[in-house]
Amino acid sequence: MGTVTWPSKADLKEGTTVVIIMSAIVAIFLSLIDTVFSFIIKNLFLKV
């Protein structure tokens, strides 16, 4: 086994910030896609 080098506080903070921001962006993107597909399905396929 080799030596373990832990990330510095700055690296850890930067990595955590990137993960949180990317998670928020993906969540917003998926909710927009869900809204668009719901609108399309309700208006095109479920019209009687």
Q: 46: pLDDT confidence band, cut at 50, 70 and 90?
A: confident
36, two tokens? 């668009």
Contact 7, 15 (CB under 8 A): yes
**Cα distances (Å, whole numbers) of residue 33 to 16, 29, 43:** 26, 6, 15
pLDDT tens for each residue of 8-29: 999 999 999 999 999 999 999 9
Predicted model pTM? 0.75
pLDDT above 80 (res 41): yes
